[in-house]
């Protein structure tokens, strides 16, 4: 364990946590901006664009961009097994800020989900492997062309093509795992490509230019294609299925496959003992559990709110005459007093 390695992991940790804080806060800022805009004009949900004139919404967008940049840089300094699971902290930030700033109730199960995410993240941080930064893009290329990772890439591309060509036309509108499978598999390749690009940028800024290497542009091309594909099918999933179900399933699949891809290509677990790897896996499972609990809690709250509003609407429609009669009775009692 070198001093540089510890320093790099610490930088990656701080950047990943900062990224989660910024991204989690951005949701709240944008939501407050949308609420203010809705009070002055047409809501965004029904096609309005008043929010584009709301400073709070733009503040949320800027905050989100800063968070995404911090997340991108975090992958340069720390392994994906450390950075990717910490993305769950943004859900905690969002849930806590919603409770205090938006007055959205955080139930006890939601608190349990937050605690699970925090405990799991701490376990991962304690047992995370040290980052071994390659010294050139050529070295990254050697890692990308090793037999084990080539097998993963071929298997991933084959499954993605099968999902797009065969399963999507038949089951895409009824089974969300088709869209999310494409997003998650492609997303794992996105992360390793972006990590390669980030390392190339870092080396170039340190005075070791990587621009002339064709591998740098290859990784950039792969990352661009993967990002476009990933966003395309994620949007389809969100448009077709309930977001409260899509989000936790996508997080679990994407995070799991990203850690597997990074572990194969960059050998994140190389040199670690079995107990450390087992602890990281346990921490990861704990984070996933907390994430699922948080999303299930949010879905239950929304469902309860919808049932309550439906009940009141039903009462108003079906018992309007009775309610009016009761009001007259109470008014009469009041006047007699």
What is the mean pLDDT of the segment spanning 85-92? 88
Res. 337: pLDDT tops 90: no
pTM above 0.85, yes or no: no
Say yes or no to pLDDT of 224 above 90.
yes
Predicted confidence band at 336 (pLDDT cuts at 50, 70, 90)? very low
| Better pLDDT: 167 or 100 | 167
Tell me, what's the pLDDT at 299? 60
Task: Sketch the domain layout of the chain as residue ranges.
Answer: 1-335
More confident residue, 316 or 258: 258
Task: Please tell me the predicted confidence (pLDDT) of residue 46.
Answer: 59
| Of 134-138, 181-185, 244-248, the least confident | 244-248
Average pLDDT for residues 53-71, to the nearest whole number? 92
User: What is the mean pLDDT of the segment spanning 239-245?
Assistant: 74
43 vs 112, more confident: 112
Nearest to 53 by CA among 67, 38, 65: 38
Looking at every residue in the chain, the average pLDDT score rounds to 83
């Amino acid at each position: 364990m070198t001093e540089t390695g510890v320093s790099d992991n610490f930088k990656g940790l701080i950047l990943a946590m900062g990224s989660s804080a910024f991204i989690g806060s951005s949701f709240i800022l944008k939501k407050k901006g949308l609420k203010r805009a809705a009070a002055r004009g047409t809501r965004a949900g029904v096609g309005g664009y008043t929010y584009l004139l709301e400073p709070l919404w733009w503040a949320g967008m800027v905050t989100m961009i800063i968070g995404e940049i911090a997340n991108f840089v975090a992958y340069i300094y720390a392994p994906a097994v450390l950075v990717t699971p910490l993305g769950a902290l943004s859900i905690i930030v969002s849930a806590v800020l919603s409770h205090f700033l938006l007055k959205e109730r955080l139930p006890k199960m939601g608190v349990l989900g937050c605690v699970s995410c925090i405990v799991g993240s701490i376990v991962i941080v304690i047992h995370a492997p040290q980052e071994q930064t390659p010294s050139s893009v050529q070295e990254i290329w050697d890692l990308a062309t090793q037999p084990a990772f080539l097998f993963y890439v071929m298997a991933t591309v084959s499954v993605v093509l099968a999902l797009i060509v065969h399963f999507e036309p038949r089951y895409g509108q009824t089974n969300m795992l088709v869209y999310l499978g494409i997003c998650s598999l492609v997303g794992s390749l996105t992360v390793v490509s972006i990590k390669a690009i980030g390392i190339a940028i870092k080396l170039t800024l340190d005075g070791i230019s990587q621009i002339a290497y064709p591998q740098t542009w290859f990784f950039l091309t792969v990352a661009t294609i993967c990002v476009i594909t990933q966003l395309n099918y994620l949007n389809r999933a969100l448009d077709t299925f309930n977001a409260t179900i899509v989000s936790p399933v996508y997080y679990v699949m994407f995070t799991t496959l990203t850690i597997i891809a990074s572990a194969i290509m960059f050998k994140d677990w190389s040199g670690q003992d079995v107990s450390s790897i087992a602890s990281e896996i346990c921490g990861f499972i704990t984070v996933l559990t907390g994430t699922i609990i948080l999303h299930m809690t949010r879905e239950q709250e929304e469902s309860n709110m919808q049932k309550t509003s439906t009940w009141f609407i039903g009462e108003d429609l079906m018992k309007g005459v009775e309610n009016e009669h009761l009001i007259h009775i109470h008014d009469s009692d009041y006047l007699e007093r």
